[in-house]
Structure 1
Amino acid sequence: MAGELTPFNPRRLEDLSGGDRDFERELIRTYRASARDALATLTQALLSRNRAEIQQAAHKLKGMNSNLGAEGLAGLYQRVLDLLSQDSDFDAIEACVAEIEGQQAALEDALHARANG
């Protein structure tokens, strides 16, 4: 499944920025910094087995990725939220987060190329 996900929809960035490449680069920088922090929070919450913090971070990241047009990642964060609501064990949540980390790396690469292209 991981290989099937498209990192993000560039048209969404164009819509958000109104075609202004400088503003688009700023949006990318802001997203990357915020996503890094939120993913670190999610990872720490997972290590400490704090379901409430996992839920908060996953919800935030789902929204951030949806706004960016990274629907594949937004869907994975929704899966984390679904697993939490089903009171799933942490192994299932950890497996989903491992998939997220791989997709996040692919998105980071795509955003870096977009910002510098």
Structure 2
Amino acid sequence: MGTDALIDWDYLSQLSGGDTEFEQELLLTFVEDAQLHLSAAKTALADNNIDQIKREAHHLKGSGGNVGATTIQGLATELEQQAKENDLSEAGSLIANMESICQGIAALVAEKYTGS
């Protein structure tokens, strides 16, 4: 999957009214917030706290959808569903994938908006 596939750019542009500075701010805020919730999900997984995993996944699903981070949204939906079914066998992998995607989004933001 190419890094451009991590974000629904048309949705984000529509949301921001074409304001690229606002897009950058939204994405960076999303990445920062997602990293906190992914960290909490990892702790909850280590503690076998299914309710907390459901909450973290639900938050990530919503916040991902809000900024057009559709890949995160999909993985978080999957994590939430598995937690609802009390099946955490794939949770570690899903969380790791979302962490990797967050890093990809951060790198993409740096490249797209700052040219670095």
TM normalised by structure 2 equals: 0.83
Distance 1:26 1:4 in 2: 22
The C-alpha deviation readout for 1:69-89, integer Å capped at 9, x for no partner, is 11121111111011112221x
Partner of 2:49: 50
Alpha carbons of 1:12 and 1:114: their partners in 2 closer, same or farther (altered >3 Å)?
farther
Identical counterparts, % of pairs = 26
Partners of 2:61 and 2:30 lie apart in 1 by 12
Secondary structure of the corresponding residue to residue 41 of structure 2: helix
CA RMSD of aligned residues (A): 1.9
Aligned residues: 114
Structure 1 runs of 4+ with >3 Å offset: none
**104-113 vs 8-17, greater mean Cα deviation:** 104-113
Gaps of 5+ in 1: none
Does structure 1 residue 22 correspond to structure 2 residue 21?
yes
TM-score with structure 1 setting the length: 0.83
Task: Report the alpha carbon displacement of residue 35 of structure 1 after superposing the two structures with TM.
Answer: 1.5
Please tell me whether the aligned partners of residues 31 and 102 of structure 2 are also in contact (alpha carbons under 8 angstroms).
Answer: no
